[in-house]
Amino acid sequence: PYDPELLEAVRHRLTEGEPGGGAPYRPVALLTAWGPDASAAVPELLAALEAHPLAVPKALAAVHAPEHRTEVAQALARKAEAGPLEDRFEAARALRELTGEHGPLLHALAEVLATDGGGVRDGVRAAAAAAADLGPAAVPLV
């Protein structure tokens, strides 16, 4: 359950980084589970997006508060446009979850499918699941 003191500790952990320099999967998963109750962590998540592009996008979509929506959407859109395919794919999925915009996700999906997974973890399976979630919007992929 959500706890304000634990939220502050998680925010600090995001700022300081994980021991050993690894990705902050556990703190980010906790924030994601808390949803908008954790919206105070949006600045730390935005700051961590570049360093941890696989862990952070889903959390940003989950925890944003209405006052952060535009800033979060812009950060995810930028991440969905540049960088390794796996990073772009995660950002595009989060952007779609946040805004409903499917253009960047369709582009990433097409690339994942054209490259037989393209280095994306569980690439073809993840792409198929994301395409299924898009429903009729995924028709151009066929």
User: How confident is the model at residue 20, as a pLDDT?
Assistant: 66
pTM of the predicted structure, to 2 decimals: 0.88
Q: Report how far residue 69's alpha carbon sits from residue 99's, in angstroms, rounded to the nearest whole number.
A: 9
Average of pLDDT values for 14-42? 88
Mean pLDDT over all residues of the chain? 91
User: How confident is the model at residue 12, as a pLDDT?
Assistant: 93
In sequence order, what are the residues at sequence separation of 6 or more whose Cβ sits closer than 8 angstroms to the Cβ of residue 133?
Answer: none
Domains of the chain: which residue ranges? 4-141
Checking if the pLDDT of 117 tops 80, the result is: no
